[in-house]
Structure 1
């Protein structure tokens, strides 16, 4: 079968089911190398249709088919005293929680799960056309041992953050932790900091979560305020509008959790819309203090500095932007700031750093024309402030 693979390990008593993440190719399996040293039989599962395991996998056709097959294989592999573990990341994390509940798993590790499918801006909404009413929400699922369910999500992915808060609110005994200022792929952070294979092995075999002592984590918050942050983020991303309806709740969260950059940034946008540029800069400074690479906060601060004709501050903030965060808006704004400082050479360098193949054709043409005019012999360019 191309959606499953069983790695039988002689002498093992336990069974681990590893659910693959979205976009894992047919016949391939997430965590294959990570679990290579786990002293347990491993059943790898991959819903290569990206159907979020709602219908099992394409080779089973429905959830019951996959569930029955897993029960049969677990019974054939596990000893009488053996345990069952489930593991998953992203789409696989949803399955690890859902099937872990249905199978009565002894320990579950879910990395970046969506507890509610098809939330705006979530990953599942890009894969699923529709789902049966109520079928996609697993926040209230029962677990055999809630204390042995470990959920890790990045709090700068607002959908993951909201779902983590949902899970914790529905079952306070779950071990739900938010990795501070990280986005969706928390597995990469854990692997880089602690070694994901070591973390997985220690948790499944011994219930060990001591790595969390050194991890940068923050607590979940109540669902009401989490919903306010989720709603603000959706309106900002979809409608390109700053909504003031829940501003008090968001600013309160920003003040209660100063190490979390995203509510600092949201509070800055709220303050700007309210006309309080001093508060706007204050929140942006706090955001960048804890997360210097938060590109949106960096750009917004630079835009404020530019409009205030504080060009040197603008340049100092933007010129060390790493390549991974050097966007079209940052490059063009930096170029204009250099022009206002009278440095045409640096203005050209700022534009030359941009990858024109990654921007739309109109922007690429505009940037190329600008570069040509700046580089023309004896150019007498009169700078016009860049409009955002």
Structure 2
């Protein structure tokens, strides 16, 4: 790869990092990437009702297998140095830069364009867990045979210069709940059900859920709000949030059943109205041996056999896996890239070694070539 492409990747990263946009609002990000795709001779597709952009590069008329490479484009909304802002603390700016770097690397090799059919998917709203489903709805993978993704990994999982051919994400489910009741005077606790006590009962029962200990899982209340400025009012209403995690989709189904059973039990016990609404869900990874083998070879070619890590098992989630759930024949895997990332993903001041992006470009490049046996 030429030094010109390396610098272009770094410049692109710095632009995207300083122009972050949150889920479903990635308007300028979409326009920026669209222009870069067109400059490289891609057939570009955008959408009237959502952000995101698709670029097709290569020969799509001769029946070649179609390889798609996906990058997520949205940022988180979080407090950074005392100010709330869109922030790429999950590395999506790096993912976009690497996937564009792959395009430029393919473009650089003379005679390669006629031998490949590569689709670049720049997907919105991964942080909402809904962007991949929207892209499936838009038929962006209906004719795709192979799908590759990439994600920066924290230093706790792997080191700079290492990579894993697959990230075994878990499933997650987020709920928003509401306890609905009437307030009462602090001297008359018998006249209502204290929403704080109702919430505490939910927490206590959640901690008593016991599932197969060999399959990682967790459930916890992550937000609870009740009462106001008056300390002599017993609140009858409250709002709360729940976060559920499980390493497999089957375990998640069981965990959800237990949680919903607890809510029904507490409703009956206190005779209060409790509403529970799903506000986001992500499926666990579906693994494909052929795609993992291709990515393993690509890592060995780029970093050496000693720097090829075992599959990374993580309780974190990614909506990438909805592509394979919605299209089971898709051969997909996500590259887990070591980059010295610390202190952790989603930390407002997350940092990593930017040289790792060049490793990512080269690994993805080798994965495409291995897929076509070039």
Same fold (TM over 0.5): no
Shorter-chain TM-score range? under 0.3
Choose between structure 1 and 2: higher strand proportion: 2
What is the TM-score with the length of structure 2 in the denominator?
0.23
Structure with more relative contact order (C-alpha pairs < 8 Å, separation 6 or more)? 2
What is the TM-score with the length of structure 1 in the denominator?
0.22
Structure with higher Rg: it is: 1
